[in-house]
Amino acid sequence: MTTVTDLTLADVAVARGGAPIVRDVSLTVPAGEVTVLLGPNGAGKTTLLEAIAGVLPITSGRLTGGGADLAGLDRVARARRGLALVEQGRTVFTSLTVAENLRVVRRGAAAVDRALELFPELDKRMDVQAGLLSGGEQQMVVLARALAMGPSVLLIDEMSLGLAPVIVRRLLPAVRSLADDGVAVLLVEQFATLALGIADTAHVLAGGRLTHSGPAAPLRKSPELLHSAYLGEAAAS
Amino acid sequence: MRHAEAEPAKPPGDAAPSGPAGPGRSRRRALTGLLAQPAGALLVVIVAAITVPQYWLFLATSVLVSAVALLGLGIVGRAGMNSLCQLSFAAVGAWTVAQLNVWETPGGLIAWTLAGGLAAMPFGVLIGLPALRLRGVHLAVVTLGFAAAADVVISAVNFPGVDSYQQVLRPGFIATDRQYFVYAGLVFVVAAVGVQWLGGTRTGAAWRAVRFSERATAASGTGVAGAKLSAFALSAFAAGLSGGLLAGQVGMITAQNFGTISSLALFVVAVMAGGEYVGGALLGGVMIMFVPELFRRAGINQDWANVLFGVGAVHALSQGSSVSEGVARRLRARRPAAVPAPRAPVDGGTPPLGTEPLLEVKGLSVRFGQVVALQDVDLVVPEGTVMGLIGPNGAGKSTLTDALSGFLPSATGSVTLAGRPLGGLPVHRRAAAGLRRTFQQDRVPTGLTVGAYLRFAAHRAVPAGELAEVRAFLGCPPPDAHVADLDVGSRRLLEVAAALLARPKLIILDEPAAGLAHAESLALADRLVEVPARYGASVLLIEHDLDMVRRACARVVVLDFGQVIAAGPPAEVLARPEVARAYLGDEVALT
Amino acid sequence: MLEGAIAGLAGGGAYAAFGLCLTLMFRLVRVVNFAQVAIGVIGLYTMAITSEHGWPYGPAALAGLLAATLVAAALGWVMGTWFGEAGADQRSAISIAFLVGLLAVSFLAFGTDPRRMPGKFGGSLFTVDGITVTKASAVCVAGSILVAAGAWLVLTRTVLGLRLRALSERPTTAELHAIPSRRLGVGMWAVTGLLAAAVLLVVAPQQTSDQTSLSLMVIPAGAAALVGGFRSLGRTVAGGLGLGALQGALAHVTELQQYRDTVPFVAILAILIWSQRKEVWDAAR
């Protein structure tokens, strides 16, 4: 079983419930880099991540990872090859305790320990049912659970949603250091300026198409460029 | 009218008005469409009665008997409920006929059969009562339990007349099997026309709406209990008719005619053939009777029939549609409904600032266990205005909507609408009192056409012109488009249109622009500004899109952690630092 | 009365065990499996046929258990492959189709003639005060309690149990974490199929029932599962045993004797209306 080390999308289109949501998306997510995907609500960012992870099928185009075609693999097979998606919306297993949430993925205690280093808050909560945690704590569990898989490609949908700023500030460098260790990271994030701070490459998705692709640095330095890429025509009104 | 199958026939006086043909012609077409098919079916029955050999004719009569029972299953199916005891209801009908026959009650078989149908109805209501609280799987367990219990009871006690070898008497004009076949055909056609007609009424739309969402059904002013019970009662009525027909056909009935497994097989066939469609019910009847017979003639064990039905039902469910629904969908795909172009923003003017208080909320609190979702919320929505309600995720906006519309009976505090206290009123009564809401999730029932949905949700007789006017105002698809074929954005607009058509005093819109493109959201905002003047309703708009809120609202209220933290004109409120912190969130705090 | 109630415990133990199967299936693979007992019937009749062909009881019983396990696994595969994303309602409707089909298959394969069912659990275990406790009663009661305890241990103490619970709660999320839903689902079907056949091997030789009435034991089993709200294993066992005892006791009341099989329905109704009295709406929001 080959490990998925990076991602390449070529002219990918994705539909949800029969309606086309994402069209003609071509991008790469190289190992060792943070790629950030920005865009307004409803642009299709979540849909694209779900298609990469195998939750939704790709209607056309090619999706390859580590040189191999991923389209024929279901989501379980993709996960086993090292692809991890952190879904939006605090998807903890509510009836399991925090410890059980981490144990259920079972990729060795070392990965779990490393994940917990990032979230010392969880240490005291290990035997609490995840459903009883606050929203922010649940988000930490979800992130730690993905890290416990020891992924080689990490897709994160709205990581900062519901997290206190102080935690977000701690997390972003952690994501950066994951990438520095060789993980390919694709980050969807509503706080554009923050995400750009750790990203190598940025793509902007609007209305289901990529409206901007390039290095992150120029966008970081020029809010006007970001604004026009982000909001498109809507910025005018 | 090849569409009459897919689309419930409209009542003649209420026909679709739009289209180039003009109201008169299309009404005539609808009328002939409604009558042409039954007339054709009856013609087929009469020709068959003359030409088909006696033996096959007996089987064909049985087909019609089963088809009537399947029509009934289709009714509960429309309402999204599974009934596994249809033959137990049929047994009640047969029993009634046998008993009236033994008593030699005047009126004869036809009146007895009707009485059988009526006698089954209370049993339907009885089984429907648990359906008010139970749904899905639990309800299926109840109906199966009832089927088995009824099986036990009728096996233990013989049908009336069986011990004395008393055949059920047929009147002279349907005495022969050929005549009885025509009679059975007539009963089926009448039942089918009845079911089709009901499907086009608001009651029929309510069944489909209940199937899709009970909350949305109640919120559009229709009681869920009534819809479910009427579905079960009418389903049992059809089953009772079918039992009565069977009693007249075979003369002497036994418990074996109504076994539990036969009820299950009937359900399975309904799933496969599609009991919700008249054609499906007929097809199901044909399969139940002819498949075993054909196997028998081919020297194959008849039990293969049930294997086939089981496999067929699994196949149908894996395709997501019964045979009939597949056909209907394919027919529809040949004539796709035109989707109107998205509307461009047209400045609707300045949002009107109302004066008189319309909705007054005092000290509204909601707790979920330990969590306080809303705390002492005071809120006034004036008459004739558009007011915004904003706040971060989890602030309690949707909880407030649920509490106002009556979904949270545990809420404390007082709510009055135009001076009338709403406390204690159930959801559909609040809707009737003039408070309408839409849902964040897509809650427009698939399985209805745009026109049928709008008429249903309006909850009053809507003149065709008014329907067209509201559709044009918001840019909704034509009335004959099927909701199932629409994108999410169009469905959201449709939900708003339905709320407007109900002519409420207050409309609460819960994120109506989710699923709309930004420009369309702004266009919707412009329309909302006009709503108070055009439709006499105030709007409470819950929305994340601040551009839209600024454009549409004269005032905004900000909710955070279940409390009102600010209220006033949008520009002023949004400029306040505490609002920026709460709503715009940490972006501001972080950078 | 008491003697009847004790005699009814054999059936009650069976209801409890089947009810456990239903509860586990509903909790873990989102289906009320109306075909649960029918799967066991296939195993039971395989045993009967093979022993008629001269097989000793042991191998015949094993053949029966194997047959039921394979049938269940095949149905589980169908469910996982074509209805992996479907909700509990639809999956349960499919299990009704399975029931109707399986019963017909059973008639085709084994005929409709009554069969002699060899069994190892006939006769009485002991007699106290004139009240006889049969072996079948003892095995069923003890067996259902053991199964409940075993299932509870697996669910709470093993990673397999954690994965099953994770899967039942959030199938998509579980799959995204490399938890193989389809394989685990087929496994659940196979194990409960095996269990259903085992229960029938114990109780069926004591009764004179045909395939249909055995398969419809799923109704009292459903009533037992409802006592536990399709969640609690302990209350499911209690419900099954109570229902069996009640039926057994009613068998000794002459006026009600022939209606005692309506007890499950009345019980179902009472339990449901009580347990769901606050469940007003179809969705949380």
The verdict on A103 touching C (C-beta cutoff 8 Å) is yes
Inter-chain Cβ pairs, chain B and chain C, closer than 8 A: 153
Q: Which residues contact B539 (CB under 8 A, 6 or more apart)?
A: B385, B386, B387, B506, B507, B508, B509, B528, B531, B532, B552
**Could you tell me which chain C residue has the CA closest to the CA of A50?**
C176
Map residue C209 onto helix, strand or coil. coil
Q: Which fold has domain C2-284?
A: ABC transporter involved in vitamin B12 uptake, BtuC (1.10.3470)
**Could you tell me which chain A residue has the CA closest to the CA of C164?**
A104
* Residue B50, amino acid: I
pLDDT of residue C261: 79
**Which site among A129, A191, A221 would you substitute to test the B interface, given the most B Cβ atoms closer than 10 Å to its Cβ?**
A191
CB B224 within 8 A of CB B429: no
Give dist(CA C45, CA C51) in Å, integer.
10
Q: Which residues contact C166 (CB under 8 A, 6 or more apart)?
A: A93, A96, A104, C173, C174, C177, C179
Distance of CA B307 to the CA centre of its chain: 32
Q: Tell me: the pLDDT tens digits for C79-115?
A: 988 888 788 888 899 999 999 999 999 999 998 888 8
Domain boundaries, chain C: 2-284
Q: Which ipTM value was assigned to this complex?
A: 0.91
The verdict on B511 touching C (C-beta cutoff 8 Å) is no
Could C159 and A104 be called an inter-chain contact, meaning their C-beta atoms sit closer than 8 Å?
yes
Could B149 and C89 be called an inter-chain contact, meaning their C-beta atoms sit closer than 8 Å?
no
Query: Over chain C, what is the mean pLDDT?
Result: 89
DSSP B504-552: -SEEEEESTTTTS-HHHHHHHHHHHHHHHHHH--EEEEE-S-HHHHHHH
pLDDT of residue B29: 52
pLDDT of residue C94: 93
Selected residues 507-546 of chain B with any CB under 8 Å from a CB in chain A: 514-515, 517-519, 522, 544
pLDDT of residue B588: 40
Give dist(CA B195, CA A212) in Å, integer.
56
Could A234 and B590 be called an inter-chain contact, meaning their C-beta atoms sit closer than 8 Å?
no
**Which site among A85, A104, A149, A153 would you substitute to test the C interface, given the most C Cβ atoms closer than 10 Å to its Cβ?**
A104
Domains and CATH numbers, chain A: 1-82+153-161+190-237 (3.40.50.300)
CB C228 within 8 A of CB C236: yes
Give the nearest partner residue to B215 out of C261, C266, C282, using CB atoms.
C282
Per-residue pLDDT of chain B (591 residues; tens, 9 = 90+): 333 333 333 333 333 333 333 444 445 555 555 567 788 888 888 888 888 888 899 999 999 999 999 999 999 999 888 899 999 999 999 999 999 999 998 989 999 999 999 999 999 998 888 777 776 777 888 899 999 999 988 888 889 988 888 889 899 899 999 999 999 999 999 999 999 999 888 899 999 998 888 888 888 888 888 999 999 999 999 999 999 999 999 998 888 889 999 999 999 999 999 888 999 999 999 999 999 999 999 999 989 999 999 999 999 988 877 888 888 878 877 666 565 665 666 666 777 777 788 999 999 999 887 778 888 999 999 998 999 998 876 678 888 999 999 988 888 999 999 989 998 888 999 999 999 999 877 788 888 889 999 989 888 888 888 999 999 888 888 888 888 877 777 888 899 999 999 999 999 998 888 767 677 888 889 889 989 988 999 999 998 777 888 889 999 998 888 888 888 998 888 888 877 666 544 444 333
The verdict on C179 touching B (C-beta cutoff 8 Å) is no
For chain C, how many helices (H) and strands (E)?
A: 12, 2
Between residues A43 and C40, which one has the greater pLDDT? C40
Give the nearest partner residue to C97 out of B261, B271, B305, using CB atoms.
B271
Q: Tell me: the pLDDT tens digits for A79-135?
A: 999 999 999 878 899 889 999 999 888 666 777 888 888 888 888 888 888 888 777
CB A34 within 8 A of CB A51: no
Q: Residue A191 above 80 pLDDT?
A: no
Could B547 and A41 be called an inter-chain contact, meaning their C-beta atoms sit closer than 8 Å?
no
Give the nearest partner residue to C180 out of A76, A104, A149, using CB atoms.
A76
pLDDT band with cut points at 50, 70 and 90 for residue C33: very high
DSSP C112-168: SS------S--SEEEEETTEEEEHHHHHHHHHHHHHHHHHHHHHHHSHHHHHHHHHH
Best CA proximity match to A193, nearest among A172, A176, A213: A172
The verdict on C172 touching A (C-beta cutoff 8 Å) is yes
Neighbours of chain C (3+ CB pairs under 8 A): A, B
Q: Give the CB-side neighbour count of residue C84, counting CA atoms within 13 A.
A: 18
Which residue reads 């609460």 in tokens?
A: B508
Could B398 and C26 be called an inter-chain contact, meaning their C-beta atoms sit closer than 8 Å?
no
CB B538 within 8 A of CB B507: yes
Could A76 and C169 be called an inter-chain contact, meaning their C-beta atoms sit closer than 8 Å?
no
DSSP B238-296: HHHHHHHHHHHHHSS--GGGG-HHHHHHHHHHHHHHTTTSHHHHHHHHHHHHHHHHHHH
Best CA proximity match to C226, nearest among C19, C13, C29, C34: C19
Neighbours of chain B (3+ CB pairs under 8 A): A, C
Give dist(CA B254, CA B493) in Å, integer.
55
- The maximal CA–CA distance of chain B, rounded, in angstroms, is 93
Map residue B120 onto helix, strand or coil. helix
